[in-house]
Structure 1
Amino acid sequence: MRYRHDFEGVTEKIRSIGPVRWHQFDTVLPAYWEAAGATGGRGSYVSANPRISVFFDDVSSIRVLEGTASRPLPRAIFVPAGMALQTMFTRPLVFSHLDVHMDAGWAVDVLSGAMSRAAALRLLAQPAERHDTGPLEVIARLLVDELDAASCPDLYAQSLAGSLVAAILDIGAEGQEARRARLTAAQMRKVCQRFDAGGGRGLPVAHLAAAVNLSESWFSQVFKNTTGMTPHQWQRARRIEHARALLSDTSLGVADVADRLGFSDQAHLTRTFRQVVGETPAAWRRRRG
């Protein structure tokens, strides 16, 4: 498993009033608590992993302690790895909440479709909170239901956890980076070289991303910003360029060209060629001849 639980909590005058419902998935550990705190109750918590807590009740009577100051506990809070959280009850309270402990690398992967890994790391190093939970609570309750039913594949629960991450973090400023980011000329040369080394055959996007040491999702975003095309569209256009060169400069038949460039068959090349060029390979070759 990627996630390794490393959490420490010390409480005083706070008690669980029902069994803790939890499940450890590959990348996250959600746990649902029902608890009661007395006036003056205190809690001190720290984890080696980032975590989210969503409270299903008004918890404004619980104060977050920050040195000599305090403030009401938000209904939803993201706590970065290694950040201590201390709370105190100002009156008796019965409440329930969902904690989602997560693997830090997984959280970076969740965010890297909208920003660079460096930006994701910056975002995950900062606490975040929401007083109006809105859709957060809906997602959290779906995850609680899954703790009991376990009716779906693990990917479902992990996807819900990923949605909580995206909903609670303020990705607006960092997300602007995704809309502005471009590949450098040197990076584009490396991508072209990697593609050309394959002889005009289509490559998995992950292989192109690896040429410039970027995650597949972030590469796809900045590649489209740079070229105006998705990696798949760009490769299709480049492959048809190779096909036109072979049809023009060699005597290879259309079926042979298709085989050399990795198309499944002649019909596949013909269909793709027509989509890009507007006519079949045979018609294009005749017109040029």
Structure 2
Amino acid sequence: MHTLGMHFGPPVNADCSVDGTRMRRVQKPGDIDFVPAGMDGCWEDDADCQILRLSLRPSLLDEVAQELGKGAANIELLPWLQLRDTRIEAIGWAIKADLEANAPSDPLYIDLLTTALAVRLIEVATDRGLRVEGSRTLRMSTRQLKRLVEFIETNLDQKLHLTDLAKVADVSVTRLKALFRNSTGTPVHQYVIRRRIEYARALMTTTTMPASEIAVAAGFAHQSHMTSTMRRILGQTPGEIIRPSRKT
């Protein structure tokens, strides 16, 4: 497995060695180390060290590289010590926040973060920004988008994965993200979350279903997950939505 570590705790003095390269440094929040699969690394810190460690399948990077139109054989993954990259750091903080959250995110959101991390690692490895050709202007056809939206609506009560949506749209996983955003103006995971919320709110205002059943029907992990998501996005809890509608 490829291994990526992002330091997030207090600064520490570190002595690092990977594949014959050695570095002594002050390790600060946001510092990133990357060790390709098959290489050994050694770290010695002078104090307790807090690091987010992520492992990625080599086949994942190969698949993403292929979808980006760059052969995996042409990508040279080298070890990086104390890499500073704002995009990888932002993805790391997002993954850390999700791991620490009380309610799990949609699997779709994790799929997107994983793909984004793979894309950025390939960009850094090739030392130039690879982009899906024409991604800023390409959009889904009306038929593609209609088919995908209907699939999402029909399966809101299910766990939706990026690979499932890509198959429905008949595009690669990497292209789906750009195409959907260009077509709707909204990232695909945000669109799904918004549709779950709107469906749940409709059930609250038109039925007498218990909130726990509504949460399941709308695809939330549980009632608390639905409540926290609604509060974050709508600024209202289910109770605040139900009470006025039932008074009317």
TM-score, normalised to structure 1, is 0.44
Instruction: Answer yes or no: is the 8 Å Cα contact 2:181–2:188 preserved in 1.
Output: yes
Deviations 1:77-97 (A, max 9, x none): xxxxxxxxxxxxxxxxxxxxx
CA deviation vs aligned residue, 1:18-51 (integer Å, no higher than 9, x gap): xxxxxxxxxx9xxxxxxxxxxxxxxxxxxxxxxx
Contact 1:183 1:223 in 2 (8 A): yes
3-state SS in 1 of match to 2:209:
coil
Q: Partners in 1 of 2:66 and 2:135 — Cα distance?
A: 11
Deviations 1:182-241 (A, max 9, x none): 112211111111112214444112111110111112101221222222221110000111
Superposition map of 1:167-186 within 5 A: 167=127, 171=130, 175=132, 177-186=134-143
Number of residue equivalences? 153
1:23 equivalent in structure 2: none
Q: Is there any run of 5+ residues in structure 1 with no aligned partner, and where?
A: 1-27, 29-104, 129-135, 144-157
Structure 1 CA distance, aligned partners of 2:142 and 2:222? Answer: 34
Alpha-carbon displacement from aligned partner over 1:234-255 (angstroms, at most 9, x marks no partner): 1000011110121122110111
- Answer whether contact 1:205 1:216 (CA < 8 A) is retained: yes
8 Å contact 1:107–1:162 — kept in the other structure?
Answer: no
Moved runs in structure 1, 4+ residues, more than 6 A? none
Query: What is the aligned partner in structure 2 of residue 110 from structure 1?
Result: 65
- Where do residues 66-215 of structure 1 align in structure 2 (5 Å cutoff)? 109-110=64-65, 112=67, 115=68, 120=69, 142=79, 162=122, 166-167=126-127, 171=130, 175=132, 177-215=134-172
Identity %: 24
Alignment partners' CA distance in 1, 2:61 and 2:212: 45
Q: Is the 8 A contact 2:196 2:219 kept in 1?
A: no
More strand by proportion, 1 or 2?
1
SS, match of residue 178 in structure 1: coil
Measured in 2, the distance between the counterparts of 1:165 and 1:265 equals 40
Partner letter of residue 65 of structure 2?
Answer: V
Task: Decide whether aligned partners of structure 1 residues 193 and 287 sit closer, same or farther in structure 2, where only a CA change above 3 A counts.
Answer: same
- CA distance in structure 2 between the partners assigned to 1:163 and 1:244 by the alignment: 41
- Give the AA of the match of 1:211: V
Tell me, yes or no, if the aligned pair for 2:197 and 2:218 is still in contact at 8 Å.
no
Q: Which whole-Å CA distance do the structure 2 matches of 1:275 and 1:164 have between them?
A: 34
What is the distance in 1 between the residues matched to 2:173 and 2:226?
A: 26
Task: Look at both structures and tell me which one has the larger radius of gyration over its CA atoms.
Answer: 1
Partners of 1:272 and 1:110 in 2: CA distance: 34
Equivalent residue for 1:241? 198
| CA separation of 1:260 and 1:179: change in aligned 2, threshold 3 A | same
8 Å CA contact 2:138–2:179 kept in 1: the answer is yes
Q: CA RMSD in A?
A: 3.9
Q: As a proportion of its length, which structure holds more helix?
A: 2
Normalised by the length of structure 2, the TM-score is: 0.50
Asked if the contact 1:111/1:166 (under 8 Å) is kept, the reply is: no
* Deviations 1:160-186, CA, capped at 9 Å, x for gaps: x95687347x95xx6451122211221
1-structure distance, mates of 2:195, 2:133 = 30
Query: Structure 1's 200 and 259: CA in aligned 2 closer, same or farther, altered over 3 A?
Result: closer
- Provide the rounded CA distance (Å) in 2 between the counterparts of 1:192 and 1:107: 29
Unaligned runs of 5+ in 2: 1-36, 38-59, 81-117
